[in-house]
Amino acid sequence: MSIKTEVEMKLKQQGNQSENRGRLLVKCPDKPGIVSMLSTFLLNHDSNIIESSQYSNDPEKGNFFIRMEFYCENLKEKSAQMESDFEEIATNHSMDYHFSYESERKRTAIFVSKEPHCLMELLWEWQNGDLDTDIVVVVSNHEDARVMVESLGIPFHYIPANKDIRKKVEEEQIRLMEEYSVDLLILARYMQILTPDFVNHFQHRIINIHHSFLPAFIGARPYERAYDRGVKLIGATSHYVTNNLDEGPIIEQDIERVDHRDDVIDLKKIGSRIERRVLAKAVKWHLENRIIVEGNKTIVFH
């Protein structure tokens, strides 16, 4: 059995299990009774709550955030009416909200340059069925990953990129994202700066990964300079991309301790290991609708 066939079988099994599962994310001014109101709404629509997480940043004058996962028989047939009925509640209580359904899988594009470790981790998680998405295309400014990607039946597009042709490159990339109906873009060590025009096309839908030394050791050769400085911690940060370079809402971070025995090669290996797991977690949480963006911060319901 081919790898592609195995993946397709796993996706079919997951689809059968998830067709009646939905999620509701809500942000609104905090006040008593919100949880009761939402629970009653789901009860009245024959839905059973199977997971619920909530948070208030100030119980008197703050905002309230909640994620509810629910099960409802024949959800596909009922979802439109459910959303229509919820509009009045949302209006009356100044709610920002979003319904999503496990049966509607997001379509993902991965951007990569020469370093393949984050791409490989995402492909492995996807093959295992641990990333609830369809990886529909990989875009790179190098050819290095082509064989790996195409062996899994995923289209690979090589688009050379540099600052002198950035506008033309991004026009082609946007065209591709529209062609493949992409919902989420993952920068898996894609070593190019994105312009505001590109970022604005995909607000809160681009996830990036980089080392956590910032704002120290900004620019090229961060590990070499970190080694010269004698750092004791190596880390990685995954965040949504905004027009403030590497300063978008942080989704996940992690670290490992290092010491004087670790040379530059060791530091890079440790950093790559952390980057892989941090990016995979951030992507998974986005796909599972566990993130609410609040200003330049995130509420993440693990």
Active site residues: 246
- Count Cβ atoms below 10 Å from residue 265 Cβ, excluding itself: 10
* Cα atoms in the 13 Å half-sphere on the side-chain side of 102: 25
